[in-house]
Amino acid sequence: MRNSVGLEKARILDSNDPLKSFREQFIIDDPSVIYLDGNSLGRLPISTADRLEKVIRVEWGKELIDSWNKNWYKKSEQIGNKISKLLGAREGEIIVSDNTSVNLFKLAAAALKYQDNRNVIVSDKLNFPSDLYILQGLANENNNTLELIDSEDEISVNNEKIKEALNEEVALLTLSHVVFKSAFMYDMKKVTRLTHEAGALVLWDLSHSAGAVSINLNEANVDLAVGCTYKYLNGGPGSPAFLYVKEELQEKLQSPIQGWFGSANPFSFSLQYQAETGIRKYLTGTPSVLSLAAIEHGVDITLKAGMENIRDKSWKMSQFFIELYHEELIDLGFKLTSPSLPEQRGSHLTLSHKEAFRMNKALMDRSIDGTKIIPDFRAPDHIRFGIAPLYCTFIEIVRTIQKLKLIVSDKLYLNYSFDQSSVT
Ligand SMILES: *Cc1c(COP(=O)(O)O)cnc(C)c1O
């Protein structure tokens, strides 16, 4: 076993890590917890806890309704503009609103109406189920056809398949930029270009991309996008999502949900809806102010660290993980079910193993080695390891590989049951 070599290398990599000080900006009470689930729910920044305390005690507690004008009304745009800097969009192209599913519905419906001389929606079988449910509902409602591109290896989709699916019938192509299970990442620029060549619009779901990989929406000429803030942006449980509409499409597309926050003058209480201009027209009703406030510091920290640095560390950590996987795990029935090329991957890695479910339980059990390792299990036999470069360390990767090896070689997984809890 060459663990000591791995450990030594990890120590050097950690001490040379330009982002190492960012870990201190998060609440990490228990260092024996190795958290590899930042791709589902990011950690809590210390400054966010302080900010929420202020929003609750001062802005709400003392200043009451005055806070709407002073602090809250413009927050959705202000945070949207910060997210624009992360994603290579212009000011006024991104706003924080609702959740990802609702935003996907709004933008897909708007795109379909705009392209009503075409009636096919294209997505793929690797997409997040909620996205596919929303698209199925829209297709039923509008008498459209939903076509799902297949993946031969269940890891990735070839650009040729995308090309084949695009024709003059297609109104909209919508995909997860980074696939939730395998972490396969599409070439955003290329796929967007192929979509435009076929006369269709593109809508990217950036839930596993924002804060994880470098993106330039303007450079790729993307039409529409949505994404989460509670994953790599560390916005907290249920924090509202973001949506992006390219500037020149903002007036052409209409939101299907005509709520008062997206109307031209919400406080005129006019009986006739008139859409606001610009990105605000894609809002619906009153935002969840507390959750909205929780996003800002996570985004600030990400901007400060710099997306290039974050991507660079994620890349190095993933390569290190794969190197150790080849040395220690490959002969124990594991299979890497993420792309092997780093440029085709987001920031998590997936391993499959027939005992993945019980193994995931064993990883979380402290009694084995004093660590509680938290990845997540994805049915039927995958374990996802999320690498959040702002707070994950190389040493944590070594410990994870060591524990996996121990669990399998000593058959420790046999001690756990197959009981499924509700949130995995
Ligand atoms: C996490 C995730 C979502 C979550 O959607 P919500 O409506 O915010 O719950 C949507 N799409 C993808 C691709 C995701 O990974």
Q: What is the pLDDT of residue 133?
A: 98
CA of 240 relative to ligand 1 center, distance in Å: 11
Residue 403 appears among annotated catalytic residues:
no
For residue 205, indicate whether it is catalytic: yes
Query: What pLDDT score does 349 carry?
Result: 98
* Catalytic residue flag (residue 35): no
- CA separation, residue 404 to residues 9, 311, 336, 413, 421 (Å): 19, 26, 14, 10, 21
Quick: pLDDT tens for 87-106. 999 999 999 999 999 999 99
Would you state the structure tokens that stand for residue 242, as one six-digit string?
Answer: 């973001």
For residue 132 and ligand 1, the question of a CB distance below 6 A is answered with no
In the chain the first and final C-alpha atoms are separated, in Å, by 32
Confidence at residue 63, expressed as pLDDT on a 0 to 100 scale: 98
β-pairing, 382-386 vs 376-378, is: antiparallel
Q: What is each CA distance from 230 to 38, 242, 292, in whole angstroms? A: 9, 11, 11
* Ligand 1 atom nearest 205 alpha carbon: 13
CB of residue 228 inside a 6 A radius of ligand 1: yes
Q: How far is the CA of 219 from the centre of ligand 1 (A)?
A: 24
The active-site residue out of 23, 313, 384, 403 is: 384
| pLDDT digit string (tens) for the chain, length 424 residues | 455 779 999 999 999 999 999 999 999 999 999 999 999 999 999 999 999 999 999 999 999 999 999 999 999 999 999 999 999 999 999 999 999 999 999 999 999 999 999 999 999 999 999 999 999 999 999 999 999 999 999 999 999 999 999 999 999 999 999 999 999 999 999 999 999 999 999 999 999 999 999 999 999 999 999 999 999 999 999 999 999 999 999 999 999 999 999 999 998 889 999 999 999 999 999 999 999 999 999 999 999 999 999 999 999 999 999 999 999 999 999 999 999 999 999 999 999 999 999 999 999 999 999 999 999 999 899 999 999 999 999 999 999 999 999 999 999 999 998 877 655 5
Interstrand relation of 224-227 and 241-245 (parallel, antiparallel or unpaired): antiparallel
Ligand 1 centroid to 230 CA: how many Å? 10
Is residue 231 among the annotated active site residues? yes
- Residue 423's pLDDT is 59
Whether this prediction's pTM lies above 0.85 is answered by yes
Q: Which two tokens stand for residue 376?
A: 């997540």
